[in-house]
Structure 1
């Protein structure tokens, strides 16, 4: 009878932890916070970027109000930031797959990125002084990547979720 140890076929293989270089992360930040002018208009700020998860934040401001009676954030803003951070999660995971390339070469992959499909579920009214957006890539292939996203209120309450697919080549 065969004997299986913890490192045998019954356990999940662990991928080595990939650390993205500071110069890559700075270029990534510049793209998402400055070069994509719409993200800048929204006030999108990256909090953390790893191949496993991207976290961002936006602060509520009058320009983002969708319902003046409740000072609620506009659903289009929620959709836009979920899309932005969903694509960021795919790009971070894609960068980790291509660590053999120079940081600048991996950053050039942004020029081929495009949203194919986006689904947003609005679960609660977006009321708060700031919001956090979390995303992780589900799969990144040679042509298409997919991600799941969460839009959370100041206390961590889940307000909206998203799922998206992106062309990456």
Structure 2
């Protein structure tokens, strides 16, 4: 996960606007996320903002045609995407600055350092939901735990990711 940010003329934003900006980068400027059909769902306000990724089942995302299950790479992508997004959002929540230029400069050097995925069961379902939570946040690194469930709540996979904050 590495980000390029378009320039903007808005120097100062609220935390909510900064979070919305980052979500739009993940949603609108990452072609692979668009190709998969990821939907970014937010709930709550301010420090209580929670983000999830939703993905409806698509035959084109099949990993094993005999079993008709979600491709493991799609699973890993969803976990990495939500982990990186939550790491950035947590950084925004804890920052005192509302300077978009500062955020964009930091986004250029943010990325995934390490990630592990544990596949718990075949990815069967009509929809998939990825969520993440912070395990530890330091000055330069954030460690997240990510989970993928289907619409019935079956736990399909979990991951641990380390993300550089820039």
TM-score, normalised by the number of residues in structure 1: 0.80
> Which residue of 15, 20, 25 maps to 2:15?
20
- Equivalent residue for 2:72? 75
Q: Once the 2 structures are TM-superposed, how far is the Cα of residue 42 of structure 1 from its aligned partner? A: 1.3
- Equivalent residue for 2:103? 106
Q: How many residues align?
A: 150
* Structure 1: gaps (5+ residues): 1-18
Q: Cα RMSD over matched residues?
A: 1.9
Q: Give the number of the structure with larger relative contact order, counting CA–CA contacts within 8 Å between residues 6 or more apart.
A: 2
> Which residue of 38, 47, 52 maps to 2:41?
47
| Structure 2 residue 82 is matched with structure 1 residue 88 | no
* Structure 2: gaps (5+ residues): 1-13
Q: Once the 2 structures are TM-superposed, how far is the Cα of residue 29 of structure 1 from its aligned partner? A: 2.2
The 8 Å contact of residues 47 and 57 in structure 1, kept in 2 or not, is answered as yes
- Equivalent residue for 1:29? 23
1:50-69 pair list within 5 angstroms? 53-69=50-66
- Equivalent residue for 1:122? 119
- Equivalent residue for 1:149? 146
TM-score, normalised by the number of residues in structure 2: 0.82
Q: 1:108 to 1:39 in 2, by over 3 A?
A: farther
Q: Once the 2 structures are TM-superposed, how far is the Cα of residue 25 of structure 1 from its aligned partner? A: 3.2
- Secondary structure of the 1:112 match is coil
Q: Equivalents in 1 of 2:47, 2:29: separation in Å?
A: 21
Q: Once the 2 structures are TM-superposed, how far is the Cα of residue 103 of structure 1 from its aligned partner? A: 4.4
